[in-house]
Amino acid sequence: NAGVTQTPKFRVLKTGQSMTLLCAQDMNHEYMYWYRQDPGMGLRLIHYSVGEGTTAKGEVPDGYNVSRLKKQNFLLGLESAAPSQTSVYFCASSRPVGNLAEAFFGQGTRLTVV
């Protein structure tokens, strides 16, 4: 029972490089999310999607882009990485039942930008 799977788990980038983080869920959830986790700040929402082909900005979207071409996948892109994007990134998914739904999280991607 895979749940939410993120790849890669670790990555080191040089400033200015680009990369894509992949999130895949096998629970047929409509909603998917990308959060970043920084010390002392909890998790902050970057972008989210309420269905295939849709995306929306969250609390901290600058410097990131996303795509949801397939229902089970949600990609997070960094076009030109900056040291401020050093963080742990978590993908999550949930069912569309308003504000009652439990979110299921992946194990995270630890990204370091040098």
Partner 1 sequence: GNSVTQMEGPVTLSEEAFLTINCTYTATGYPSLFWYVQYPGEGLQLLLKATKADDKGSNKGFEATYRKETTSFHLEKGSVQVSDSAVYFCALSGETSGSRLTFGEGTQLTVNP
Binding segment toward partner 1, per CB under 8 A, in 20-28, 63-71, 72-80, 106-114:
106-114
- CA distances to 3, 12, 73, 86, 108 from 103, in Å: 11, 28, 16, 24, 14
Among 1, 2, 40, 69, binds partner 1 (CB under 8 A): 40
Q: Among 2, 14, 28, 102, which residue interacts with partner 1 (rule: CB under 8 A)?
A: 102
Does 43 contact partner 1 by CB under 8 A? yes
DSSP strands (E only) in 1-114: 4-7, 10-13, 19-25, 31-37, 43-49, 56-57, 65-67, 73-78, 87-94, 104-105, 109-113
Residue of the chain from 58, 61, 63, 77 that contacts partner 1 (CB under 8 A): 58
| Contact residues for partner 1, defined by CB under 8 A | 4, 31, 33, 35, 40-45, 48, 50, 58, 90, 92, 94-108
